[in-house]
Amino acid sequence: MVFHITIKPAGLSFEAEAGETILEAALRHGIDFPHRCRQGVCTSCVCRLQQGEVRYAPPSPLSDIDKAQNFTYGCLAYPLTDLVLQHPFIQA
């Protein structure tokens, strides 16, 4: 299964394969996606989920505040549907 991911406001689009995190897919497509730790600690990869659904391997890194803000950790999130994400520092 393949999922279509769009990053706003840059307007970049790429595809993620099942079992691939958002970050892994972005890097595979040559997108300069901010990241450092790949463990959900540094928060460089945090996006705002505008559309779609993701899953995390347990335990979920999301706090109640993260959930309320629709934050998504690109390094840990696996798409379950096509996604629209917002990340202000990703450039086209």
pLDDT digits (tens, 9 = 90+) for 22-58: 999 999 999 999 999 988 889 999 999 999 999 999 8
- Torsion angles phi and psi, residue 7, rounded to 5: -110, 125
pLDDT digits (tens, 9 = 90+) for 6-20: 999 999 999 999 999
CA distance 31 to 12: 8
Residue spans of the domains in the chain: they are 2-86
Stated pTM of the model:
0.94
Topology of domain 2-86, CATH: Ubiquitin-like (UB roll) (3.10.20)
